[in-house]
Structure 1
């Protein structure tokens, strides 16, 4: 079970933030299906060369203020 739940509408904005911060991420890297947060987290951890906790922290931080450009 994922430590975070992401709404598809929120993901649209959050994925743009991730792409700005990590410009090497592709559309494929940022593909997300509702309910598959674990798969997304594991994939991003691999692509960012970071651990799972870092990815979850980064995603949660981005969700706090979706209107901000900051991540």
Structure 2
């Protein structure tokens, strides 16, 4: 599962999204959010690892992926 791999590997881009909560329900939510960002990065082939921009560089309005970025 993408969320599991992201939690295990903790790439630099994921660091600003915080650490795993200890409470199971919150941890599940947190992991799902990591998976969403990881899936976005995979779909749009984001390769930079900048922790300040977990979803990658800003995509300008009118370009493919702009709405997904937001």
TM-score (norm 1): 0.37
Which one has more relative contact order, counting CA pairs under 8 Å at least 6 apart?
1
Task: Kindly name which structure, 1 or 2, has the bigger radius of gyration based on alpha carbons.
Answer: 2
